[in-house]
Structure 1
């Protein structure tokens, strides 16, 4: 399944409307194909739901011209405010939304009813296994997707264990599922707490081991963030970022490496390409050290003693975890 990337737009922030449209245009050029919209009071406190919906109409004209898949967060209060109901979502379709995200407050029967009209994005924390099975049984599978919540308050994001548990339920049923990463400008709207302050390249790289879709949760990401996310989505091989101490090793780490995970103290990556690193010395081994031995990269997972390896850099915990989940990789310098 092709990796899909998206961004978030909040119509109620009238002061950044034009900037959000400009970001949409740039993101589309880079391969972004999805837009999540929030129109409820939880996304902006200065604009009411009806006013936010009207502004959304203007943004949707451009989003649909650019052929984005757009979906909007809904709950019973939002539907009531907009004179809509699970049996009548025509107002959302008329302005150009292609999907709705059933955030909370809907029964399994109402979700099935909504799916007859539009794509429904499920909230993994608001649906039980039995309800999910009911929805998949009585709905067109092409009309059902899922997107995790984002958690804007510091320390409020979910754990990896819960994330995997919830995600697995949808993957087992063949349902596309997405999750959010934060934007370094804000570091707020992330699904996983461990990724809150992680660079977009790395958080995207991490999430694509588990989900089909990655969306930037915070608004108006800069071009660097957009390019990092697009770089991961468009890459045919996993790229592991390290901090390289010596530029002389840049060509060596850019080779394709195969990953071995069975060593006691290290993840070992070997390449079949020619060109051994001949310089060999003894170095003090520390956790997350990136070293070379022959045609192999040894990335250590524990503080140890002195060993016969050439130290060339270090790796952070997130990239180390991505590496351990990979079979073939190439490395790149963070700088």
Structure 2
């Protein structure tokens, strides 16, 4: 089951009212998780103790959310807490803690006996994970990746997949963050930093169980985009289309992405024949979408002149999604020009 969430930063007092509003409306769009960061951040310098008091205030009436917060030894010390005593967080209304850095595997197990513990995939080793999964209740251990506000600091797909494989071997539920066009900051994967929330979530859900919006106070339209992805029952690829006479054909039919690994294109086929079967010789460019008979061709590199009807184009992230769906049925959805 796909789960979606958002981030709240109690110490950013200038946007407190907007964050309260977000917590009220997000549940209407199916959001069920809240990540909270109470340490000093880029846009605020609120002390941890004050931020924690604001967090407690924000969580009143939010029992239906799974709320968890980032902790490290410094934050625990500031709040007179320890891995053996997380009672303050539980009393405040938190249901989980994210063990960021500075914790031993034994301390993570101890914390899991009090609250759900979110592991940091970048820090936990295979040996530590073996110990944790042997000694902790598996229902009380999850994992969520970092977000990386500085441009070019987000992790690569290769590292992301490597860390996820390790967690999936143990059946651990995984989460990751996406940014929004307002900030383009708090993303897990660098390739998703400047991508719309719909496409970011659509890509991430191919690999993780939970997608959280990392940037604060997302617009309602972005909540709706993430909700739409969470509710998708099939596979969707978004493309830009420049011919109105092909829109119904593209959006009303299902297509199967061929397994064949062509070096220059990905082909999606359907049983329905498009009535206009004319072709013209045209220059083929990378990311172009073309119609040939009943087939949709999406080109992965530039080619010479060839007999196709060019009907639109696909962006890089949807091209990557398309590559992940070889052998599967998909629906095309139109993307604004």
Alignment deviations for residues 7-34 of structure 1 (CA, whole Å, 9 cap, x no partner)? 0000111121121121122221111111
1:44 Cα shift?
5.0
| Cα drift, residue 276 of structure 1 | 4.1
Aligned to 1:308, the other structure's residue is in SS state strand
8 Å Cα contact 1:261/1:324 also seen in 2: no
Alignment correspondent of 2:195: 198
Distance 1:139 1:44, change over 3 A: farther
Residue 261 of structure 2 is aligned to residue 260 of structure 1: no
Residue number in structure 1 paired with 2:136: 139
Cα distance in 2 between the residues matched to 1:44 and 1:63: 25
Match of 2:284 in 1: 285
> 1:155 — aligned with what?
152
Aligned residue in 2 for 1:123: 120
The Cα of 1:264 is off from its aligned counterpart by 3.0
Between the two proteins, the alignment pairs up a number of residues equal to 332
The correspondence for 1:223, drawn from 212, 220, 223, is 220
Q: Report the counterpart of residue 68 of structure 1 in structure 2.
A: 65
The two structures have a TM-score, normalised by structure 1, of 0.97
Q: CA deviation at 1:273?
A: 3.4
1:239 to partner: Cα distance: 1.5
Measured after TM superposition, the shift of residue 49 of structure 1 is 0.4
Where in structure 2 are there 5+ consecutive unaligned residues? none
The alignment's C-alpha RMSD in Å is: 1.2
Moved more, 85-94 or 35-44: 35-44
Deviations 1:275-328 (A, max 9, x none): 444232222111111000111101011111111111000111110010110122
Deviations 1:29-67 (CA, angstroms, capped at 9, x unpaired):
111111100001136532110000000011111322xx1
Query: How far apart are the structure 1 equivalents of 2:123 and 2:67?
Result: 21
Q: Secondary structure at the match of 2:60?
A: helix
C-alpha distance in 1 between matches for 2:302 and 2:259: 18
Structure 1: unaligned runs, 5 residues or longer: none
8 A contact 2:178–2:197 mirrored in 1: yes
1:35 — aligned with what?
A: 34
Q: Which residue pairs with 1:332 in the alignment?
A: 333
Q: Residues 115 and 44 of structure 1: is their aligned pair in 2 closer, same or farther, counting only changes over 3 Å? A: farther
Q: TM-score, normalised by structure 2?
A: 0.96
